[in-house]
Amino acid sequence: MADSLLEVIFDVVDIAFDVSDAIDRTKQLGKPDTVEVPPDPKPLSAAAQRALAEAEERERKRGQSDQAASSTDQAS
C-alpha cells in the first residue's frame, strides 16, 4: 500500500516538473531575439593617436630586438 502511494506521489512530482519545463521552454520561445550592439566608438584625439602610434612603434622595436637576441643565442 505504502509502495503504491509513493509511486503515485513520485509520478505527480514528475508530471509537475515536466509541466514546469514545458512552461519555461514556451516562455523562452516567445522572447524576441535581441542583440546588444555597442555604441559607435569615439574617434581618438590627435594626441591619443600619436601616443598609440608611439607605443606600437616601441612594441615593434622591442619585438625585433628580442627576436635578434634569441637568434644570436641560438647561433652560439
Q: Read off the pTM.
A: 0.39
SS (H, E, C) the chain: CHHHHHHHHHHHHHHHHHHHHHHHHHHHHHCCCCCCCCCCCCCCCHHHHHHHHHHHHHHHHHHHHHHHHHHHHHHC
Read off the amino acid at residue 74: Q
What are the tens digits of pLDDT across the range 20-75?
999 888 877 766 777 788 888 888 899 999 999 999 999 999 988 888 777 665 65
Spatial separation of the C-alpha atoms in residues 19 and 6, rounded to whole Å: 20
